[in-house]
Amino acid sequence: MRAALVVAVALFAAGCGGGGHATTATTAKPSALAQRGAGLVQVKPCLVCHTTNGASAAGPTFAGLAGSRVKLADGTTVTADDAYLKRSILDPEAQTVAGFPKGLMVTLVPPHSLTPLQADAIVAYLDTLSAASK
């Protein structure tokens, strides 16, 4: 697990850049929470269905997701703010993104199988992916 975390942090540092602050991607250091989130998406089943580079997959890409407008299966549109992202991680069936099958995420990540702190860490990481894409 330590090796996976080291690889995750190295990939994160190489490909994700800034930590969401006003500094440039080359000088910003992700927060410890975001670094933990980067490691969690590597060891949890997140990257089975999500990508971090914008490529299509079974689930929405993480690249640019945080802060974006997301169309849901019920026709409504929401902002993928931290509260929305956290709820989607903790309760995958709460809202389904349009174009993706309901029930898919819950097969790999049952509701509340991650702790709120783990969800916060993943959200902090997703925030850095969006900051890096701007």
Q: Where are the domains of the chain?
A: 2-132
Residue 79: helix, strand or coil by DSSP? strand
Residue 20 is inside which H or E element, if any?
none
| Rounded Cα gap, residues 73 and 128, in angstroms | 26
Instruction: Enter the pTM of the model.
Output: 0.76
- Pairing status of strand 69-71 against strand 77-79: antiparallel
Contact 37, 43 (CB under 8 A): no
CA–CA separation, 101 and 111 (whole Å): 16
Per-residue pLDDT of the chain (134 residues; tens, 9 = 90+): 333 333 333 333 333 333 333 333 444 678 999 999 999 999 888 999 999 999 999 999 999 999 999 999 999 999 999 999 999 999 988 999 999 998 888 888 887 789 999 999 999 999 999 987 66
CATH 1.10.10.10 assigned to 2-132: no
